[in-house]
Amino acid sequence: MTQPPPLPLALTMGEPAGIGAEIAAAAWRALRASGPAFLLVDDIRRHPGARQVSGPEEAAAAFPQGLPVLHQPLAETAVPGRLNPANAAATIASIDTAVALAKAGRVAGVVTNPIQKSTLYAAGFRHPGHTEYLFELAGTASAPVMLLASEQLRVVPVTIHEPLKDAIARLTPDLIVEIAALTAAGLRQDFGLGAPRLAVAGLNPHAGEGGSLGREDLDIVAPAVARLRAMGIDARGPLPPDTMFTAGARPGYDVAICLYHDQALIPIKTLDMNGGVNVTLGLSIVRTSPDHGTALDIAGTGIADPASLIAALRLASQIAGFRSCASR
């Protein structure tokens, strides 16, 4: 019996004035022969030579010949580098459509091109970002977790987009345990790791030096690690942040649980600025995204690097495969 082709992924348009259209076309050129296949939810007029499709069912067959585009019209012609709130509704509709297709089982997952939140806010968008909006659309019970992944390193920040003083004030053993436990569950479901190993970073230099450089690691981080271990999760820490990301240390764990935004993102972007992928763990659907912004300053120049988007598409396909195998 002939097996049906794998479901394609849905790629959103992202900010129309950014690099989303050009890196989508570049990703198609790189993947057209090997896959994974994807369809782009975007205005077909922005993609000369693309194949307009009426749904994902046509995308796999069309993919080798041309970029499949599910038409989502823009209100006004997008100008590279020039933000236009008139197109915000189409940007949001592109996300809505991709998520609806994933929830209906018509695509394997969603890959989101970067959005410009300031433009969406001006048009009435009321969510802090992509992840929070997807959380609402996907109808997931538990809070999602942001994981950044590359070939060399995976990291999860416990606190994300907030001032450092606020992030430190908000740290508690409960919060660390919640994020770390959700991460462990996500690695089992989406990465096929039966017993993921978690390395939990310390907060202070040298993880506090036994309390001489601050008691947060003794009073907040260490109790969280002890609770995780009592739950059967392979966690260790608090580890000195200045040595845990070295080449010798990284093979000893599957993910680094970091306590604030830059503690997580500096090492992964230093190791692989162009190949990092943003993965949302804990959603009912598969979602990845390139780990960069809209790059308005180079939009339309043709020099945007599609490597992170290509990695995001490949990883979304892999995660969908793990979820499919687990459900059988």
Which residue in this structure is represented by tokens 């942001």?
Answer: 146
Q: Which domain-ending residue is among 271, 297, 312?
A: 271
DSSP letter (8 states) at residue 250: G
Number of H helices, E strands in the chain: 11, 12
Which residue in this structure is represented by tokens 């804990």?
Answer: 282
Which residue in this structure is represented by tokens 């462990």?
Answer: 184
Burial of 272 (0-12, 13-18, 19+ CB in 10 A): buried
Between CA 16 and CA 150 the distance in angstroms is: 26
% residues pLDDT > 90 (the chain): 84
- As a whole number of Å, the end-to-end CA separation of the chain is 19
pLDDT value of residue 328: 62
231 and 254 in a common domain = yes
Q: How far is CA 231 from CA 30, 159, 176, 177, 181, in A?
A: 43, 22, 13, 10, 9
| Domain annotation covers residue 279 | no
Give pLDDT < 50 ranges for the chain: 1-2
pLDDT value of residue 143: 78
Is 167:265 a contact under the CB 8 Å cutoff? no
| Domain annotation covers residue 135 | yes
77 and 13 in a common domain = yes
Between CA 278 and CA 305 the distance in angstroms is: 16
196 and 220 in a common domain = yes
pLDDT value of residue 45: 96
Half-sphere exposure of 291 (CA within 13 A, CB side): 25
| Domain annotation covers residue 233 | yes
230 and 303 in a common domain = no
Instruction: For 78, list phi and psi in degrees, rounded to 5.
Output: -80, 135
Q: Is the pTM of this model over 0.75?
A: yes
* Max CA distance (Å), the chain: 68
Question: What's CA 228's distance to the chain center, in Å?
Answer: 25
Between CA 118 and CA 328 the distance in angstroms is: 42
| Domain annotation covers residue 214 | yes
Domain total for the chain? 2
Q: Containing domain of residue 205, as a range?
A: 152-271
| Domain annotation covers residue 316 | yes
Amino acid at 121: Y
pLDDT value of residue 273: 85
| Domain annotation covers residue 7 | yes
DSSP letter (8 states) at residue 4: P
Between CA 249 and CA 199 the distance in angstroms is: 10
Helix 222-230 with 173-191: angle, nearest 10 deg: 50
Q: How far is CA 279 from CA 54, 63, 90, 130, 135, in A?
A: 28, 24, 23, 12, 13
9 and 31 in a common domain = yes
Which residue in this structure is represented by tokens 């012609």?
Answer: 77
pLDDT value of residue 327: 64
300 and 223 in a common domain = no
128 and 222 in a common domain = no
Per residue in 184-227, pLDDT (tens digit) is 999 999 999 999 999 999 999 999 999 999 999 999 999 999 99
pLDDT value of residue 1: 38
Q: How far is CA 191 from CA 150, 279, 300, 307, in A?
A: 13, 11, 35, 20
249 and 177 in a common domain = yes
pLDDT value of residue 2: 42
318 and 267 in a common domain = no
Where helices occur in the chain by DSSP H, the ranges are 20-31, 59-62, 88-103, 117-122, 130-138, 164-170, 173-191, 216, 222-230, 261-271, 307-327
Per residue in 103-149, pLDDT (tens digit) is 999 999 999 999 998 899 877 888 877 888 888 888 776 778 999 99
| CATH code at position 257 | 3.40.718.10
Tokens read off for 38: 């994807």
Nearest to 258 by CA among 167, 195, 192: 167
